Structure 1
Amino acid sequence: MDELFLFLEAGADPARDRVVQDFGGSESLLVWVPDGAAAARVAAEQVAAGTRLIELYRGFDLVTAGQVIEAVDGRAAVGVAGFGLGGGPAGPVSDTATVFVGHPEADPAVHRVVREHGDGRRTTAVAVPDAAAAVAVARELTGQGTELIEICGGASLTAARDVAVALAGRVPVSLVSWPVDSIERAAAFKAEFDAA
């Protein structure tokens, strides 16, 4: 797996709560973890197996993200979904979507994972080829009750902006960003991805 996407979800079992998305030439692993310690263990295992890029979604804060960064110890880029000033959720969120932008071969109807959690919460993860498709999917999901949209780190800030503008403030929109300890590895991964 070149890419690992971790979702924080209380009660998750990372050995069971995982999905592989196959894009033909590459695969991504999505794993739900109960806490930062479990996220750090999964990240360390996957990096040892060759994963080079990790993105953290659905509730990671500075402490839990820091556990992953320390476990990876510079061997892979680690990005965290964050919000613009004043753009975060106002309270608990039960229905979120993560939109992975930039896989040219992605088909949002095929590369879609919906996880219903035992506590009634839901996560939808969708891969799309470009920003226009991200806008369309974000509108669709928001219309179905999604309360938060997270845009992957492979997307530009302007793609996330386009989604936020299209949703006109109906739900918060986040974008994965790369802390200084991951910038070089993230840039190298993107260059290789774009060249492939």
Structure 2
Amino acid sequence: MEPIDTMFVFLAPGAERAGQRIEQQVAGGVNAFVWVPDAEAAAEVVAAQAAAGLELVELYRGFSLREARLVVDAVDGRAPVGVSGFAFGAGAGEVRDSVTIYGADLEDPGARRVDVEVDGRRTSVVPVADAEGAVAAAVEAVAAGAEVVEVCGGTPLTTAAQVEEELAGRAVVGLVAWPFEALPGAAAYRAAFEAR
């Protein structure tokens, strides 16, 4: 199994049980974007990757706390797991169009953009260079029909707040949060990431 540095996992009813995956080589590792039909499938996919050295997991598109717990239990402390705050307000089955925004130090972030449709539900994953880019990506996505904007856990809360303020209620905005037990792993990941 190919070592994965970071895994973004999206709930998408209708996805393949083993997960629909897109991988991208980035400085110092590989990012995997994986769409799974339910939390049980997410737990299986993430546990297998954690056994191979996964360093960080982020959960998107409506993981409830119970569902996120399945993934956390499956990882068994081998990698920190964060979950988008959107999960607390809506169910993934209701979302037809969402965008996930993450920070990337790339010359051409647009070249790393991912657009996936599973069972009539669209997800865009958009790298941005800074807060201004995050706001612009969110505005563009909502204008194109996104109902939910999820901001990566590596992005400052202040950036997510700027996105929410700019959207002014036109979409639900969530930010990946790290529970207390995940903080040491997330901090170690950040230090390694910044050292690359």
Same fold flag (TM > 0.5): yes
Alignment correspondent of 2:114 = 113
Alignment correspondent of 1:184 = 184
Alignment correspondent of 1:31 = 34
Letter of the 1:150 partner, please give it: E
- Structure with higher helix content: 2
Contact 1:97 1:124 in 2 (8 A): yes
Cα distance in 1, alignment partners of residues 194 and 68 from structure 2? 26
Structure 1 residues 24 and 193, CA gap change in structure 2 (3 angstroms) = closer
Q: Percent identity?
A: 48
Contact 1:23 1:105 in 2 (8 A): no
Alignment correspondent of 2:102 = 100
Structure 1 residues 25 and 112, CA gap change in structure 2 (3 angstroms) = same
1:43 to 46, 52, 56: 46
Unaligned runs of 5+ in 2: none
Q: CA offsets, 1:29-76, max 9 Å, x none?
A: 011111111111111111111111000000100111000000111110
Unaligned runs of 5+ in 1: none
Deviation of residue 16 (structure 1)? 5.5
Contact 1:107 1:128 in 2 (8 A): no
Deviation of residue 172 (structure 1)? 1.0
**TM-score normalised by length of structure 1:** 0.91
Aligned 1:77-156 pairs, distance under 5 A: 77-83=80-86, 88-89=89-90, 92-101=94-103, 103-105=104-106, 107-118=108-119, 120-156=120-156
Letter of the 2:68 partner, please give it: A
Alignment correspondent of 2:11 = 8
Secondary structure of 2:186 counterpart: helix
Structure 1 residues 34 and 110, CA gap change in structure 2 (3 angstroms) = same
Cα distance in 2, alignment partners of residues 19 and 59 from structure 1? 20
Give the paired residue count.
Answer: 192
**TM-score normalised by length of structure 2:** 0.91
Cα distance in 1, alignment partners of residues 124 and 17 from structure 2? 17
Contact 1:43 1:71 in 2 (8 A): yes
Cα distance in 1, alignment partners of residues 192 and 166 from structure 2? 31
Instruction: Give RMSD over aligned pairs.
Output: 1.9
